[in-house]
Chain A
Amino acid sequence: MNSHNHKNTRKVTIVPCSGIGKTYGTVSRLAAYEVVEDLRPDSAQLVPLSLLVLGDEDTRATLQGSQTVTIDGCKLACARKMVAECGGVVAQDFAVLDVYRRYKQFKPDGIAELNEGGQKLARALAEEVAQVVDRLNEDKGGQCG
């Protein structure tokens, strides 16, 4: 059940914020799932922010050995700050609000369950993240998995 300790440092690591009280946090989480499960399952992996808070050694080692993309739901940028704090390299940070400004037709609502706009926004965000994952993999010679 526990997959915490089996990370691949050749994959790009995706760290979404753990935002629990706002819609944008849910969008960040859903977008991360879409990247690692649907769009780039062979070249991207998820790291839970809660393990970074705890200073989990394996998780820190994963971060230090791989390129990381963070997705933050609000300006406090917990994901970006935590990755930096743990010695990771933030190749790119996405802020959901900035992404929403590019896709204003997708107005998100809901926290436990996103509305259709939120789901579409998450998909749009995930596609942008996937492009960054591709670029990062190209930069290091296309080796992944």
Chain B
Amino acid sequence: MVDLPKKKVGIVACSGEELPEGTITRLAGLKVLEQLRPHETVTICLPLFLAGGEGDRAFARFYPTIAIDGCEKRCAARGTERYSGKPAASIIVDQLMREAGMDEPGGLRELDEAGMQGVELVAERTAALVDELLDKKWSRSEGDFIDETGKDQVSEESLPESLANSGPVTASCACGSGIPVQKISVNGTEMTMIALPLIFEKFHQAGKPPKSETMDELLETVKIYNPIPENLTEALPQALLREYQEFCNRKDISS
């Protein structure tokens, strides 16, 4: 059974090793992932945006993300935006704790009492943001929230059920798994298409032939996850069909 992950919220913590607030981001993120919202959240290590592949860099387009930063440098928020996609929400620990009138935290390996209170505060705030974000419709093609007043955009809710829902998933990191992507050439332009391998797999399993009769459905499914530049709109269907044909050929040879 091949399924795309259901809508979740990505948590990106700065994990800054030099400051107690960095440890707070890490522990608060883990608390959300493991205890508070284990089925609604997933995480990725911040440096993986650079050290990983295209799939890892697609993380913040695929998931609405919450960046949790220890200090004003905002490494998690800025790094996520620079290499993956703009975070849907952002928390800065020292600011949040100051606003709550808390003492400055201490400890790196082991946080002091103020630090542990900070973990609770940040985790609760993050969990609340997760709930807020899950109430909104997220477009994986745009990597942004859908304007509810718009009629033309395709929401995740419009996905075929088998694509939109996956089985129960425990709290986990996306490290190394990445979002499935494939590069294709359209009119000489290389495009990185999110979710294409799984879409092909799904179509192949459903017995849909790599012929023109499949093209419209294939195109509509691909557009759910990928913005299509206007100048490539005409050439894309044929390029997709060609790639799908090759995919089917490889499948048939290996089976």
Contact = CB atoms under 8 A, between A and B. Distances in A.
Contact of B75 (A54, A79, A111): A54
B27 A54 contact: no
Nearest to B23: A29
Interface string B48-84: 1111100000000000000000010101101100110
A77 B51 CA distance: 8
B46 A4 contact: no
A95 B172 CA distance: 21
A111 B172 CA distance: 11
B39 to A, nearest CB: 15
A74 B79 CA distance: 21
A50 B79 contact: yes
A53 B52 contact: no
Contacts of B83: 53
Given A22-B175, A112-B27, A3 B18 contact: yes
Interface stretch (B29-37, B195-203, B222-230, B236-244): B29-37
B109 A78 contact: no
Interface stretch (B8-16, B130-138, B211-219): B8-16
Interface residues of A, number: 38
Nearest to A4: B18
Nearest to A14: B17
Given A1-B104, A2-B71, A20-B30, A50 B176 contact: no
A53 B18 contact: no
Contact of A48 (B18, B27, B31, B43): B18
B19 interface: yes
Contacts of B26: 20
B173 interface: yes
A32 B17 contact: yes
A34 B66 CA distance: 30
Contact of B18 (A46, A81, A85): A46
Contact of B50 (A2, A22, A82, A111): A82
A37 interface: yes
A37 B109 contact: yes
Interface in B157-184: 172-176
A5 B27 CA distance: 25
A30 B45 CA distance: 17
6 contacts: A18-B15, A33-B108, A48-B18, A50-B15, A53-B47, A53-B79
Closest 4 A/B residue pairs (Cβ): A21-B173, A50-B75, A78-B47, A18-B15
Interface of A: 1-4, 16-22, 25, 29-30, 32-33, 37, 46-54, 56, 74-79, 81-82, 85, 111-112
